[in-house]
Copies of this chain bind each other. A is one copy, B any other.
Amino acid sequence: MARGISNAVIRRMPRYYRYLEDLIDSGVERISSSELSERMHVTASQIRQDLNNFGGFGQQGYGYNVKYLYDEIGKILGLDKRHKLIIIGAGHMGHALASYAKFGDFGFSTVALFDKDPDKIGEVINGAPVLPIEQLSDYIRDHNVDMAALTVPKEKAAGMADLVVRAGVKAIWNFANVDLKFEDKSVSVENVHLTDSLMRLSYSVISKEKTKE
C-alpha cells in the first residue's frame, strides 16, 4: 500500500487531514466529495482521485465518513505512530516548536532540546529539558530518537545534521536557511524556508501593485 504515489498527492494529504479535523470539531459526521471540494477549493474529482490512491474510502450516495477518513489519512501519514523529536537550538524558534502542543496531538513528542549556551541548559520547555550539546549523540542512542528539528545558523546545519544521523536519527526537520540533502536515502528531510515564503509574499504584493498601474 501507498507505494508509487506521487509527491503531489502526498503533499495534499496533510491539508485533507486539517480540513477533516475541523469538520470533526464542528460535529460533522459525513460529507460528500462535492461539499468537501467546496470547502477546500479543489475539484471533487481531484478529491476522489487523491483518495482512490489509498483505496477510496467513499461510498456512492453516502459520501465520506469524516472520522473514518480522518483516521485513515492519519495512518497513511504515520500519525498513529509515536515519534520522538529532539530540537537542536533552544532559541526562539526552538522554544516555539517545543511549545506547540498540536505536535503532540499528531504523535510527535519533543523529548529534549540541545544548546551550547550554558544559560539555557537546565531550562524546561513544555516538559522537555534543555541539555548540553555534548550529550547529543549519547541521548539519541539511549532514547531511540527518530527525528531532529534543526534551529541553528545555516553554517552549522549540515554538520549538525550529519552528527544526528550518525547517532541514529532518521528524519531531519530543517529550519536553517539552506537546503539539506543526504546521500543516504534512508534519511528523510523537510526543509522549511520561512524567508522563501516571505519573498513570495513580497512578489505577490508588488505584482498586484504593477497590475494596478
Write the residues of chain A forming the contact surface with B, with a CB cutoff of 8 angstroms.
Answer: 1-3, 10-11, 13-15, 17-18, 22, 41, 76-79, 81, 83, 91-93, 95-97, 99-100, 102-103, 106-108, 146-147, 170-171, 173, 177-179, 181, 185-186, 188-190, 192-208, 210-212
Once the chains bind, are B201 and A197 in contact (CB under 8 Å)?
Answer: no
User: Which 5 pairs, one residue from A and one from B, show the smallest C-beta to C-beta distance?
Assistant: A78-B206, A92-B96, A188-B204, A14-B196, A14-B199
**6 residue pairs from A and B, CB less than 8 Å apart:** A77-B203, A93-B96, A171-B201, A171-B204, A189-B201, A190-B201
Query: Taking the nearest CB of chain B, how far is it from the CB of A63, in angstroms?
Result: 21
Once the chains bind, are B202 and A78 in contact (CB under 8 Å)?
Answer: yes
Number of copies: 2
Query: Taking the nearest CB of chain B, how far is it from the CB of A5, in angstroms?
Result: 8
Once the chains bind, are A92 and B81 in contact (CB under 8 Å)?
Answer: no
Please indicate the chain B residues that have their CB under 8 angstroms from the CB of A190 in the complex.
Answer: 197-198, 200-201, 204
Once the chains bind, are A203 and B13 in contact (CB under 8 Å)?
Answer: yes
| Bound Cα distance A195, B41 (Å) | 20
Once the chains bind, are A207 and B3 in contact (CB under 8 Å)?
Answer: yes
Once the chains bind, are A14 and B200 in contact (CB under 8 Å)?
Answer: yes
Once the chains bind, are B193 and A205 in contact (CB under 8 Å)?
Answer: no
| Bound Cα distance A171, B199 (Å) | 11
Which listed residue, B77, B102, B179, B201, touches A147 by the CB 8 Å rule? B201
Once the chains bind, are B200 and A10 in contact (CB under 8 Å)?
Answer: yes
Please indicate the chain B residues that have their CB under 8 angstroms from the CB of A3 in the complex.
Answer: 207, 210-211
| Bound Cα distance A202, B186 (Å) | 13
Once the chains bind, are A77 and B14 in contact (CB under 8 Å)?
Answer: no
Query: Taking the nearest CB of chain B, how far is it from the CB of A102, in angstroms?
Result: 6
| Bound Cα distance A20, B92 (Å) | 27
Please indicate the chain B residues that have their CB under 8 angstroms from the CB of A195 in the complex.
Answer: 14, 18, 102-103, 106
| Bound Cα distance A173, B206 (Å) | 15
| Bound Cα distance A170, B10 (Å) | 31
Query: Taking the nearest CB of chain B, how far is it from the CB of A74, in angstroms?
Result: 9
